[in-house]
Chains A and B, each alone.
Chain A
Amino acid sequence: MTDLRATVEATGRILDLVRGSDVRRLVVRGEDVTIEIERSAPAAAAEAPAAVARQEEEPREEAATAVTAPLMGVFYQRPAPDQPPFVTVGQHVEAGEQVAIVEAMKMMNPVVAGRAGVVLRVNVADGDVVEFEQPLMELGAVG
């Protein structure tokens, strides 16, 4: 546990160093510990980057649920280029709410949240080609 605490503290210092930079993802792997830091879409999300510390043996927090791609195609966060995104990080969504689009052959296929939750992060950028069932965003517990 002391190792874990030390690592968390070290990670906090690394976080301070990268805050305000354009670092999108940082992974620190120890022997039995993995720490990931990810700054998703910095322009849209100015809030503190999500920091997740977990011990591989016993996950201590409720796992986030991924919203996955319903088919292979191009990912879009907004209904049209001049419109705001369906959701932003930190936003609460209801089960069944549309959160993105995957376009295939000019067909706009809605991506819907499988459960209610808070958008923790968006994993892909607008215009990226995504695979079938690729995790597009992470939803955390409500409240």
Chain B
Amino acid sequence: MERLLVANRGEIAVRIVRACRDLGIGSVVAYSSADRDSLAVRIADRSVHIGPAPARRSYNDIPSLLYACALTEADAVHPGYGFLSEEPLFATACAEVGVTFVGPSAKHIALMGNKLDARAAMRACGVPVLPGSDGPVESAHEAAEEAARIGYPLILKAVAGGGGRGMRVVRDPGELARTWEETRAVARTLFRDDRIYLERYVPRGRHIEVQILADSFGNVVDLGERDCTVQRRHQKLAEESPAPSLPGDLRERLRDAAVLGATSVEYVSAGTMEFLVSDEGEPYFLEMNTRLQVEHPVTEECTGIDLVEWMIRIARGEALPFGQRGPDLGRHAVEVRINAEDVARDWAGSTGRVERLRLPGGPGIRVDTHLYEGYVVPPFYDSLLAKIIATGPTREVALRRMDRALREFSCEGVVTNADFHRTLLSDEGFRAGDYRLDLVEDIVDRLCTTERSTT
């Protein structure tokens, strides 16, 4: 592997270019018209203009990316997250033209991309899954029958969904038929696949995921868990590792389940097994992400392992030198996502030019970002601007460092959600490490109430 093409943008493109530098591999950044002045383009060895701003004709356009490889003689592609990272066709197309796809095989991407197949594969090897329908429900009538068996509340999920999209909660039988129709329509639009299945809904759950690395020699390493319970509408806002206050041996059970699942399907590359943990402390498999995650730095800070580097090394045939339980530096790490979002305007996306930028630093602080002064945030893509990762010997120290970093952070010209994160850090439940998936909603409700009572 001599030259790697980055088929992505934003902070993750910067992250991958840096990994290439560290490994002594050449880097090529494929960019759309909206990203011609991006940081990734500026720091890469080379860049290729692959198409106009809409992702359909640039970051999601397989032929353009393959021509870009041909033009620059790139012999590998890293898809990052989002865009084509979980598109089996892309992995297949790369293989067909002799370009190494830095990720799992098309077979594994397809298996885990079909949420029903993934459920079935995990249940077959003994990983716990939520009670649900074994196949897609074909009619509102069938949905009602299945729902009666599973019990309410339940959640309707698109077979082709994932990443928090294409799912709706149903709390009583009266809502089922209408919600079933609506979810189908959304799934048809989003995924061009309107198959829907049912799963029991866990109301006050926690979202905990396990990072694994697997090589092509059958070695599967677990790198610990990340607690991703701080979410708004299924979109993660903050993540930490280790997960605070897990009851009993739950941590070990989660990690064992992740290794079991990855091993039994003979998975290769970096991957994440996502679990929902019920209020009673029972873990259930949700989905497996067959790609690099946004929150991967949390694990990197806790283990000292460079995940992007190891994805590349596994792709070029190297074996993992770690035991099944990966290294653990005994630290606590927390990450917040700084998004171009206006919390006061119902989290509406914002754009604009970064007039002044002050990034935090100092002991225990890492910032992964593509921002620079003068950068214009384009309106075409996701709103992630920066990830601030705070690490310390204990959770308390890590949180205090995060508060320090957020006080230092400033980004004039673009509205961000940075203030929300300071509110999150001051929340009693969050500080105590005792919080559930309704945390963000609670905080927002309280903010609204305070606003109303002060005006």
Our verdict on whether A and B bind, yes or no, reads yes
**Complex: A105 Cα to B93 Cα, angstroms:** 12
- Asked if A71 is an interface residue, CB under 8 A from chain B, the answer is yes
Contact B33 A72, beta carbon cutoff 8 Å: no
Contact A129 B70, beta carbon cutoff 8 Å: yes
Contact A74 B67, beta carbon cutoff 8 Å: yes
Contact A132 B70, beta carbon cutoff 8 Å: no
**Complex: A72 Cα to B58 Cα, angstroms:** 9
Contact B57 A71, beta carbon cutoff 8 Å: yes
- Asked if A98 is an interface residue, CB under 8 A from chain B, the answer is no
Contact A73 B70, beta carbon cutoff 8 Å: no
Contact B70 A131, beta carbon cutoff 8 Å: no
B-chain residues with CB within 8 Å of residue A71 when the two chains form the complex: 51, 57, 64
From 28 to 74 in chain A, residues with beta carbon under 8 angstroms from any chain B beta carbon are: 71-74
Tell me the nearest residue of chain B to A74, going by C-beta. Answer: B67
A-chain residues with CB within 8 Å of residue B148 when the two chains form the complex: none
Contact A73 B49, beta carbon cutoff 8 Å: no
Between A and B, how many residue pairs show CB distances below 8 Å? 39
B42 to chain A, nearest CB (A): 17
A-chain residues with CB within 8 Å of residue B70 when the two chains form the complex: 129
- Asked if A104 is an interface residue, CB under 8 A from chain B, the answer is yes
- The 0/1 profile, CB within 8 Å of B marked 1, for residues 115-142 of chain A is 0000000000000011111100000000
Which residue in B50, B57, B61, B63 is a CB contact (below 8 Å) of A131?
Answer: B50
Contact B33 A133, beta carbon cutoff 8 Å: yes
From 292 to 313 in chain B, residues with beta carbon under 8 angstroms from any chain A beta carbon are: none
Which interface residue of A73, A105, A130 has the most chain B CB atoms within 10 A? A105
B67 to chain A, nearest CB (A): 5
A69 to chain B, nearest CB (A): 9
Contact A105 B71, beta carbon cutoff 8 Å: no
Contact A73 B63, beta carbon cutoff 8 Å: yes
Which interface residue of B50, B57, B58, B63 has the most chain A CB atoms within 10 A? B63
B-chain residues with CB within 8 Å of residue A134 when the two chains form the complex: 49
A135 to chain B, nearest CB (A): 11
- The 0/1 profile, CB within 8 Å of A marked 1, for residues 14-50 of chain B is 0000000000000000000100000000000000111
Contact B63 A132, beta carbon cutoff 8 Å: no
B-chain residues with CB within 8 Å of residue A72 when the two chains form the complex: 48-51, 61, 63-64, 67-68
B-chain residues with CB within 8 Å of residue A131 when the two chains form the complex: 48-50, 68, 71
A87 to chain B, nearest CB (A): 23
- Asked if B330 is an interface residue, CB under 8 A from chain A, the answer is no
A-chain residues with CB within 8 Å of residue B63 when the two chains form the complex: 72-73, 104-105
Knowing A73-B63, A104-B63, A104-B64 touch, does A132 contact B71 (C-beta < 8 A)?
no
**Complex: A104 Cα to B50 Cα, angstroms:** 12
- The 0/1 profile, CB within 8 Å of A marked 1, for residues 115-131 of chain B is 00000000000000000
A103 to chain B, nearest CB (A): 10
**Complex: A32 Cα to B82 Cα, angstroms:** 47
A126 to chain B, nearest CB (A): 15
B380 to chain A, nearest CB (A): 15
Tell me the nearest residue of chain B to A102, going by C-beta. Answer: B67
- Asked if B393 is an interface residue, CB under 8 A from chain A, the answer is no
From 43 to 90 in chain B, residues with beta carbon under 8 angstroms from any chain A beta carbon are: 48-52, 57-58, 61, 63-64, 67-68, 70-71
**Complex: A131 Cα to B69 Cα, angstroms:** 11
**Complex: A129 Cα to B61 Cα, angstroms:** 16
B-chain residues with CB within 8 Å of residue A129 when the two chains form the complex: 67, 70-71
**Complex: A130 Cα to B68 Cα, angstroms:** 9
B-chain residues with CB within 8 Å of residue A105 when the two chains form the complex: 63
B432 to chain A, nearest CB (A): 52
**Complex: A133 Cα to B34 Cα, angstroms:** 13
B70 to chain A, nearest CB (A): 5
B35 to chain A, nearest CB (A): 12
Tell me the nearest residue of chain A to B69, going by C-beta. Answer: A129
**Complex: A132 Cα to B31 Cα, angstroms:** 10
**Complex: A131 Cα to B410 Cα, angstroms:** 37
**Complex: A105 Cα to B51 Cα, angstroms:** 15
**Complex: A129 Cα to B69 Cα, angstroms:** 10
**Complex: A74 Cα to B70 Cα, angstroms:** 10
- Interface set of A (CB-CB < 8 Å, partner B): 71-74, 104-105, 129-134
Please list 9 pairs of residues, one from A and one from B, whose beta carbons are closer than 8 Å in the complex, sorted by A's number.
A71-B64, A73-B63, A130-B71, A131-B48, A132-B33, A132-B49, A132-B51, A132-B58, A134-B49
Nearest 7 CB-CB pairs, A to B? A72-B64, A129-B71, A131-B49, A105-B63, A132-B49, A72-B67, A132-B51
Known: A72-B48, A105-B63. 13 other contacts (CB 8 A): A71-B51, A72-B49, A72-B50, A72-B51, A72-B61, A72-B63, A72-B64, A73-B64, A104-B63, A129-B70, A132-B51, A132-B52, A132-B58
